[in-house]
């Protein structure tokens, strides 16, 4: 009797497993298999923000691969934005210049253009109508760092107590105590985009890994992505004056992704 009970239980268990497998296989047959994916994302990370575009191709049912391009702003952890002090001298020289907040001691603005190969592996597949799918994504690629000199409006006081304003960048040959770039009494604020014609390139490499949680019904893509990245440049990136800079930028990041999957026309 005991053996008959065990055999009956095994038969029922096998039947249940078979029904589940059959239902899942039938659902996969009826499901459209998309072969291309295009996604746009804004990102916040440990050093500022970024935007980017990801293009993936279907390789197997669980495996996608492709490329990603992005633009990121990187700040030094010790950057502090402050308001300028009132200028000395005749204020008439300041009428053509807008007073703006600025980062004290900043030597360069730093941006990086990223191009990476992307590998995406499906860890958990959501139901077609509802649920959340989970993917493991890895990126390996290049970073093209762009250094733009950071200019400040400096007020020059003349002997007759009149003044003039000049857009000035940091000069490392001057002693800090004699450098007007570091004297808050004469700084009238940031000079904005001044210096775009003086860009310098700082190449590097990047490696990153992330987990993607996608809740949208196919073919739409709406997801949250969390991950970690290491970006390393060939030499130190001089963002700040008088403060230690570095060549490697380990970071955590968070993305919100919007996109769509489709088949080639």
Radius of gyration, CA atoms only, the chain: 28
**Which residue would you say has higher pLDDT here, 39 or 133?**
39
Q: What is the Cβ-side half-sphere exposure of residue 138, based on CA atoms within 13 angstroms?
A: 5
Complete edge-to-edge strand list for the sheet that includes strand 187-190: 163-169, 151-157, 187-190
Residue 16: pLDDT above 90? Answer: no
d(CA 154, CA 241) in angstroms, rounded, equals 17
Residue 3: pLDDT above 60? Answer: no
**Quick one: DSSP state of residue 85?**
P
- 106 is written with which tokens? 């900043």
DSSP 90-104: -GGGGTTS----EET
| CATH class (in words) of the domain with range 31-262 | mainly beta
Residue 114: pLDDT above 60? Answer: yes
Residues 222-257: pLDDT tens digits?
A: 899 999 999 999 999 999 998 899 999 999 999 999
Q: Are 168 and 180 in contact (CB under 8 A)?
A: yes
d(CA 142, CA 232) in angstroms, rounded, equals 9
Q: Where are the domains of the chain?
A: 1-30, 31-262
**10 Å Cβ neighbour count for 114?**
22
Total residue count of the chain as it appears in this document: 265
Q: How confident is the model at residue 22 (pLDDT cuts 50, 70, 90)?
A: very low
Q: What is the Cβ-side half-sphere exposure of residue 121, based on CA atoms within 13 angstroms?
A: 6
Q: How confident is the model at residue 87 (pLDDT cuts 50, 70, 90)?
A: low
Residues 59-71: pLDDT tens digits?
A: 887 899 999 999 9
Q: Which residues contact 203 (CB under 8 A, 6 or more apart)?
A: 142, 143, 144, 145, 233, 234
pLDDT of residue 119: 96
pLDDT of residue 49: 96
**Which residue, chain included where needed, has tokens 């980062």?**
103
**10 Å Cβ neighbour count for 92?**
9
pLDDT of residue 17: 53
Among the residue ranges 10-14, 211-215, 246-250, the one predicted with the least confidence is 10-14
Backbone angles phi, psi at 105, to 5 degrees: 80, 10
Q: Are 152 and 179 in contact (CB under 8 A)?
A: no
Residue 263: pLDDT above 50? Answer: yes
User: How much is the average pLDDT of 117-126?
Assistant: 89
d(CA 197, CA 195) in angstroms, rounded, equals 5
Percent of the chain that is helix, strand, coil (3-state, to 5): 15, 55, 30
pLDDT of residue 78: 92
Q: How confident is the model at residue 15 (pLDDT cuts 50, 70, 90)?
A: low
Residues 141-199: pLDDT tens digits?
A: 999 999 999 999 988 877 776 677 889 999 988 888 888 899 888 888 899 899 999 99
Calculate what percentage of the chain has a pLDDT beyond 70: 80
User: How much is the average pLDDT of 201-219?
Assistant: 90
User: How much is the average pLDDT of 87-113?
Assistant: 80
What mean pLDDT, rounded, does the chain reach? Answer: 84
């Amino acid at each position: 009797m005991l053996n008959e009970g065990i055999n009956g239980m095994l038969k029922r268990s096998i039947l249940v497993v078979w029904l589940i497998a059959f239902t899942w296989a039938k659902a996969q047959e009826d499901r459209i298999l998309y072969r291309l994916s295009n996604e746009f994302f804004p990102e916040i990370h440990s050093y500022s923000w970024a935007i980017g575009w990801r293009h993936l191709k279907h390789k197997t049912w669980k495996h996608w691969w492709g490329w990603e391009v992005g633009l990121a702003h990187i700040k030094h952890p010790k950057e502090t934005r402050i308001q300028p002090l009132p200028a000395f001298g005749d204020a008439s020289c300041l009428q053509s210049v807008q007073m703006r907040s600025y980062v004290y001691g900043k030597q360069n603005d730093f941006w990086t253009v990223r191009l990476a190969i992307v590998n995406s592996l499906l860890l958990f597949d959501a139901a077609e109508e509802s649920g959340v799918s989970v993917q493991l994504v890895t990126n390996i690629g290049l970073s093209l760092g762009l250094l733009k000199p950071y200019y400040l409006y400096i007020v020059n006081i003349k002997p007759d107590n009149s003044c003039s304003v000049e857009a000035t960048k940091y000069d490392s040959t001057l002693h800090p105590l004699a450098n007007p770039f570091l004297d808050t009494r004469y700084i009238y604020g940031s000079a904005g985009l001044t210096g775009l014609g003086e860009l310098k390139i700082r190449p590097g490499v990047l490696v990153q890994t992330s987990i993607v949680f996608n809740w949208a019904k196919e073919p739409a893509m709406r997801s949250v992505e969390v991950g970690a990245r290491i970006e390393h440049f060939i030499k130190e990136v001089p963002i700040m004056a008088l403060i230690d800079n570095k060549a490697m930028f380990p970071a955590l990041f968070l993305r919100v992704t919007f996109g769509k999957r489709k088949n080639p026309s």
